[in-house]
Amino acid sequence: MHIVFAASEGLPYSKTGGLADVLGALPRALAAAGHQVSVYVPRYRQTKLNDPQTVVRSITVPFDDRYRFCSVVTDGTHAGVRFYFVEYPPYFDRDALYGTSAGDYPDNAERFALFSRAVLESSKVLGVPHVFHCHDWQSALIPVLLRTQYAEDPAFRDVANVFTIHNIGYQGLFAPDTLPLLTLPWDLFTIAKMEFFGQVNFLKGAIVYSDFVTTVSRKYSQEIQTTEFGFGLEGVLRDRSSTVSGILNGVDYEEWSPEADKLIAAHYSAEDLTGKSKCKQDLLTAFGIADADPRLPVIGIVSRFAAQKGFDLIAQVMDRLAREDMIVVALGSGDRRYEEMFLRLNKQFPHKIAVKIAYDNALAHKIEAGSDMFMMPSRYEPCGLNQIYSLKYGTVPIVRATGGLDDTIEPWDARTGKGTGFKFTEYSGESLLLTIKEALRAFRDQSSWQLLMRNGMSKNFSWTNSAKEYIRVYERARQSRAGSAS
Ligand code: ADP
Ligand code: GLC
């Protein structure tokens, strides 16, 4: 099967979060299973290409004021996957992918509309796939265009579309006059299509027009059909529930495993854990607390500082947590409020709470390897990758039972010796604190703690199985298309 992926970020070329990890790994797993896979992403300033070749010189994209002309370059084929980059420097050659601390770029609708049209137009030159697999609101116009403006285009008649929601908290909401600006018809502005409380909602368009909708864990696929988690789109999803499913993300163990990781101080494995203490010392040094007592448990955090990730709970409990025998090591950036909170806590408890406000992949690996526990008290979490990485590194996750966190972490039971981490359900600081304390108590019994570590390390969340599930969804999407076309 020929599958074209379209998304706003993908490793190894661009990344702000887990979407990039998925785009870096799932296409490769599909290619390894014998499929033809291409990936389209924008060419940003941070995109480093080894051998750029222009493959489509000029694509005309209409806007209401004038045409814009973009091109497509490739960087060759890696691990069986061909990457294409939509090039339009006025839109993509910028400091950041989506916006700055001042907010989203005001022309994001135009930027990602141009990207989406460019994918469709260039696929006519470079190869129309059997299935377009689009991700999040930035490529959500692709299914909309396929079933509206391009509906009569013979090139796309039999093409199926699968859409994956990685985070329903980001929908691509824009003013109504965005439709004429993008030369989209006003009849999309109805409650059954893209209208959403007086605005245009790109993600809603994708849910309405895709053949199948997936999300990145089974639990999240159910949660987003409820008022609590649906961000207003629960009704639209429920209407389409027979085409909505959850497929858990895999992880790339070539990048994220203590046996192979090139960015950590020492390798280790479930059979021989000795290297982990070296990694711990290296982590403490990297965070400027080399003189801390290495017997104290280290709780790691690597995260976008966003409300989604549960930082309000951390704010509630940090002062009390700092009285316990432990160290917190946090890496992240984002919401100013939480950056300041961590900096303040670091000033107040310099030997217990160490912080780096940064985006730093090498440090993220050091935290996974050098910490004893990993904290993710998310308010909601579509899948979450860090807790899955943590399992492999023998770094015990402390998570809230939501979305992918609930699907991937099994509660530790010291009596049976079963389980991989610590979970709480109620979204409150008290529950988080109680659960951390439970983990700290368990840590004191090092022999059972090692059993707990090894339980996690033996789990396998590689992409092989999830890739098979995607293939099944692609096949169903193609069948339903064939059915509706005839
Ligand atoms: P999300 O996509 O919601 O941010 P995930 O857990 O799915 O959450 O993925 C986050 C990814 O981004 C992981 O690969 C993680 O290591 C990485 N990451 C997040 N914040 C940072 C940071 N400050 N520095 C380096 N890597 C980070
Ligand atoms: C989103 C979600 C995260 C998920 C990632 C990759 O960013 O917030 O939970 O793991 O996408 O699917």
Residue 245, pLDDT above cutoff 60: yes
pLDDT at residue 178, rounded to an integer? 97
179-205 residue pLDDT tens: 999 999 999 999 999 999 999 999 999
31 closest CA partner among 73, 66, 58, 1: 1
Helix axes 446-457, 429-443, angle to 10 degrees: 110
Confidence of residue 243 (pLDDT cuts 50, 70, 90): very high
Q: What number is the average pLDDT over the span 355-374?
A: 97
For residue 52, how many other CB atoms are within 10 A of its CB?
A: 15
Radius of gyration of the chain (CA): 23
313-346: pLDDT as tens digits? 999 999 999 999 999 999 999 899 999 999 999 9
Shortest-distance Cα residue to atom 1 of ligand 2: 166
Q: What is the residue with the minimal CA distance to atom 7 of ligand 2?
A: 18
- Alpha carbons 105 and 85: distance in angstroms, whole number: 20
Helices of type H across 72-167? 89-92, 108-126, 141-147
Q: Which two three-digit tokens encode residue 299?
A: 């709780």
Residue 107, H or E segment: none
156-178: b or e for each residue (b if 16 or more CB lie within 10 Å)? beebbbbbbbbbbbbbbbbeeeb
68 φ/ψ angles, rounded to the nearest 5 degrees: -120, 150
Q: Please choose, from the candidates 306, 327, 334, 428, the residue with its C-alpha nearest in 3D space to the C-alpha of residue 371.
A: 327
What pLDDT, on a 0 to 100 scale, did the predictor assign at position 433? Answer: 98
Pocket of ligand 2 (CB under 6 A): 17-19, 22, 166-167, 216, 249, 381-385, 404
Contacts of 288 (CB under 8 A, 6+ apart): 354
25 C-alpha vs ligand 1 centroid, how far in Å? 15
Residue located nearest, by CA, to atom 2 of ligand 1:
18
Asked whether 231 lines ligand 1 (CB < 6 A), one says: no
Asked whether the predicted pLDDT for residue 21 surpasses 80, the reply is yes
On whether the CB atoms of residues 466 and 249 are closer than 8 A, the answer is yes
Structural contact between residues 72 and 84, judged by C-beta atoms closer than 8 angstroms: yes
The DSSP bridge partners found for residue 421 are: 411
CATH number of 275-459: 3.40.50.2000
Q: How far apart are CA 486 and CA 481, in angstroms?
A: 9
The CATH number given to 2-250+464-485 is 3.40.50.2000
Pick the closest to residue 299 from 414, 215, 407, 377 (CA basis). Answer: 377
Atom of ligand 1 nearest to the CA of 249: 7
Q: Give CA angle at 464 (458, 470), nearest 5°.
A: 135
* Beta pairing, strands 173-174 & 195-196: unpaired
Query: For 113-126, what is each residue's pLDDT tens digit?
Result: 999 999 999 999 99
**Average confidence (pLDDT) over 32-45:** 98
Residue 486 has pLDDT above 60, yes or no: no
Q: Return the ligand 1 atom nearest residue 308 CA.
A: 3
How much of the chain exceeds pLDDT 90, in percent? Answer: 97
Query: Which of 167, 256, 380 for a ligand 2 pocket mutation test, highest count of atoms within 8 Å of Cβ?
Result: 167
Q: Coil, strand or helix: which one is 423?
A: strand
CA atoms within 13 A on the CB side of 270: 12
CA dist 220 and 230 (Å) reads 10
Nearest to 368 by CA among 337, 402, 391, 340: 391
Ligand nearest to the CA of 333: 1
What average pLDDT does this structure show over 275-301? 97
Q: How far is the CA of 191 from the centre of ligand 1 (A)?
A: 34
Residue 418 has pLDDT above 60, yes or no: yes
Q: Is the peptide bond before 12 cis (omega within 30 degrees of 0)?
A: yes
Taking Cα atoms as reference points, which of 144, 127, 140 lies closest to residue 39?
Answer: 127
Q: Is the pLDDT of residue 65 over 90?
A: no
Q: What is the mean pLDDT of residues 166-174?
A: 98
Residue 386 is inside which H or E element, if any?
Answer: helix 386-392
Reported as a single tens digit per residue, the pLDDT across 212-236 is 999 999 999 999 999 999 999 999 9
For CATH 3.40.50.2000, the residue range(s) in the chain are 2-250+464-485, 275-459
pLDDT at 203: 98
**Mean pLDDT across the chain:** 96
**Predicted local confidence at residue 101, as pLDDT:** 75
Per-residue model confidence as pLDDT tens digits over 461-482 = 999 999 999 999 999 999 998 8
Closest among 378, 373, 376 to 449, alpha carbons compared = 373
pLDDT per position as a tens digit, 79-132? 999 999 999 999 999 999 999 878 899 999 999 999 999 999 999 999 999 999
Across the range 20-42, mean pLDDT stands at: 97
Residue with CA closest to ligand 1 atom 14: 18
CA distance 84 to 187: 32
